[in-house]
Structure 1
Amino acid sequence: MAGFDNEIVVITGAGSGIGRATAQRFARRGATVIAADIDKERVVDTVASIRLEGERAVPYQVDVSDAEAMADFADDVYSAHGVPRVLVNNAGFTTAGPFLEHTIEDWDRLMGVNLWGLVYGSTFFGRQMIDAGTGGRIINVTSVAAFTPIPLSTPYCTTKAAAQMLTEGLRLEFAGTGVGVSAICPAFVDTGFYDSAQAVGLADVAARRTRNISRYAAKLVAHSPETIAKTIVRVAARNPAVVPTPIEARALYLATRVSPGGARAAARLLKVDDLSDLMNRLIPEALLGRLDRFLAKRLD
């Protein structure tokens, strides 16, 4: 499965970030890209960028958390284009805030996009692949959050851990069918994903400050979406089980396997309350104010 000439590749969350970069890369490899996103304007823009290079792509607006919409989407793709060779379940959503401040509605949205979206995509398109008997690849974009706890992100980490186990379970179940299932676990990617995170219960100035420091630090070390897209296309031509990427993601993954307790201890060092308290004790208020203004300007 080294080439993708005239193959159908379905990508969710293709309106921006990793999804957009992945759609463009598959198109350059000769695939007909089915680009899906909840935001119609963004996915149309992705498709326009692909067609501008003379490649093939078709836009679809779909909410991956809606079972009926995803069933209809899969049916429409099958009727118009046939069975996809590759499905990239990439659409994702995150929040940032304390666990106890999250509402059931927050959890429903996170679960809907980050877990149920993968379930629906894998169910409807996976059935097409298996029934056709021609093989294929399902690639689920999870996160290092699937195996590493992140401060202010317990609900998000929970959904990604569930997505990771879904991927590993599907890989086991689909073995022998010709349909491979892989998990891509990115870290520190400059997609704007965390900038658009829904803030939950972060009214406290110190909590917002710590979150903004984390966002800014991520921007300084973040890799481009194209880096992850390159990995996804490579994985689609092979069939590895779990692919943490880039190198810091692999280091985190290894750390959780070698010393789970050590990884948890490291995560505790990043707790918002502890960091905020340390900064308040060591840094004068005037300097903290300047820091807040600097971050606001850089993250605007």
Structure 2
Amino acid sequence: MTGFENEVVVVTGAGGGIGRAVAQRFARERAAVVVADLDKDRAVQTVESIEEFGGDATPFAVDVADARAMESFADDVHAEFGAPKVLVNNAGYTTAGPFLEHTLEEWDRLMGVNVWGLVHGCTYFGRQMVDSGRGGRVINVTSVAAFTPIPLSAPYCATEAAAQMLTEGLRLEFAGTGVGVTAVCPALVHTGIYENDDADAEDTAAAARTLSVAALAQRYVVHGPESIARTIVRVAARNPAVVPTRIEARALYLATRVSPGGARLAARVLEPEKLTGLRARVTRRGVLTRIDDYLARKLEPGQ
């Protein structure tokens, strides 16, 4: 596949973030983009942003976790546009916190969006692609959490690992049909750090300091949705199996293959409460105060 002009591209979770950037990127490649999101208003906003530069996009509201809704959505898309050339299963849901504090409702939502959402998209649109005889691309956006344990994110990691294996298994099954299947695994940009209601003043200050560091890293280091979108469009023109993105995700992927035990050890060391305790033991209070002042200045609006 070398170009997307006049090709139909379906993107789920396209109301913002990576999904919106992907929809915009495909539209700039002159594809006819189907913008799907749980929130119809956000889908419309994405379409309006595409129409501003003359792109072609149509909004749909759908809950990817709802099998009947997804089947109806796929039927509607097929009736209006025919079988898509590219499907980007981007919709995702995340939580963070201790395993024992996750409710069954949270588990249901995680499984519904992160696993069943992919099953529904791959089933209904994948069947259309195969039956069309024109081939196509299915791109499932998973996460480095699919192969790297993340502190306080066991349920999320479990669903992403399931999504990853689903993708790799489906790639084998679709081999020979002309439909390629790829897992794109972006690095996490936010792991979720929760405040402890029982924390004393020093713990509260440490938690605030950790959040400030995360915010600063997100501003200056973390890759934006546009860079992930560029990768996805490039992947759609080829057919690789697994694409960790960007360089830090590739490093994590390699590390888990070379030394799974080392990766698990690193995850334990990186638990927020352990880092906080280590920092308190090895750093003087005056130095921590200067760090707090520096972070506050750097995070001021306009800096």
TM over 0.5: yes
Equivalence for 1:12 = 12
Cross-structure match for 1:276: 276
Matched-pair contact (CA < 8 Å) for 1:101–1:201 = no
Q: Does 1:136 align with 2:132?
A: no
SS at match of 2:54: coil
Tell me whether 1:236 sits opposite 2:233 in the alignment.
no
Q: How does 1:132-281 map to 2 (within 5 A)?
A: 132-189=132-189, 194=190, 203=197, 205=199, 206=203, 209=208, 212=211, 213-214=213-214, 216-281=216-281
Partner Cα distance (2:165, 2:295) in 1: 40
Give, in angstroms, the shift of residue 298 of structure 1: 4.6
User: What does residue 49 of structure 2 align with?
Assistant: 49
Distance 1:216 1:132, change over 3 A: same
Alignment of 1:18-33 (within 5 A): 18-33=18-33
CA 1:100–1:45 in structure 2 vs 1: closer, same or farther (change >3 Å)?
A: same
CA, structure 1 residues 258+41, in 2 after alignment: closer, same or farther (shift >3 Å)? same
Equivalent pairs: percent with the same residue?
Answer: 65
Please say if residues 7 and 32 of structure 1, whose CA atoms lie closer than 8 Å, have aligned partners that are also in contact.
Answer: yes
Moved beyond 2 Å, runs of 4+: 199-220, 276-288, 290-295, 297-300
**Whole-angstrom CA distance in 2 between matches of 1:98 and 1:184:** 27
The AA in structure 2 aligned to 1:102 is H
Residue 82 (structure 1) aligned with residue 82 (structure 2): yes
Mapped contact 1:187–1:249 kept (Cα < 8 A): yes
Q: Which runs of 5+ in 2 are unaligned?
A: none
What's the offset of the Cα at 1:143? 0.7
How far 1:210 moved relative to its partner?
Answer: 7.6
Structure 1 equivalent of residue 104 of structure 2: 104
* Kept after mapping to 1: 8 A contact 2:65/2:112: yes
Aligned 8 A contact 2:209 2:292 in 1: no
Q: Output the CA distance in 1 between the equivalents of 2:262 and 2:248.
A: 16
CA offset digits 1:220-273 (Å, max 9, x no partner): 310111111111011111100000111111111111111111111111111123
Contact 2:86 2:137 in 1 (8 A): yes
Return the alpha-carbon distance in structure 2 between the equivalents of residues 44 and 181 of structure 1: 28
Residue 90 of structure 1 aligns to which amino acid in structure 2? N
More displaced stretch, 201-210 vs 263-272 = 201-210
RMSD (CA atoms): 2.7
| Greater C-alpha radius of gyration | 2
Superposed CA offset, 1:147-201 (max 9, x none): 1111111111111111100000100111111111000011155xxxx49x6x778
Give me the whole-angstrom Cα distance separating, in 2, the residues matched to 1:10 and 1:93: 19
Q: Aligned-pair distance for 1:140?
A: 0.2
Distance 1:25 1:143, change over 3 A: same
Instruction: Give a deviation string over 1:14-48, Cα, whole Å, max 9, x none.
Output: 11111111101101111000000112221111100
Aligned residues: 294
Q: Distance in 2 between matches of 1:204 and 1:142?
A: 35
Q: 1:54-108: per-residue Cα shift (whole Å, max 9, x none)?
A: 1100001111111111111101101111100000000111112111111111111
Change (3 A) 1:43 1:99: same
Counterpart amino acid of residue 99 in structure 2 = F
Q: Which amino acid aligns with 1:80?
A: E
**Aligned residue in 1 for 2:70:** 70
Paired residue secondary structure (1:184): strand
SS in 2 for 1:223: coil
For the 8 Å contact 1:185–1:245, the answer to whether it is kept is: yes
CA distance in structure 2 between the partners assigned to 1:73 and 1:188 by the alignment = 29
Q: TM-score, normalised by structure 2?
A: 0.88
SS in 2 for 1:222: coil
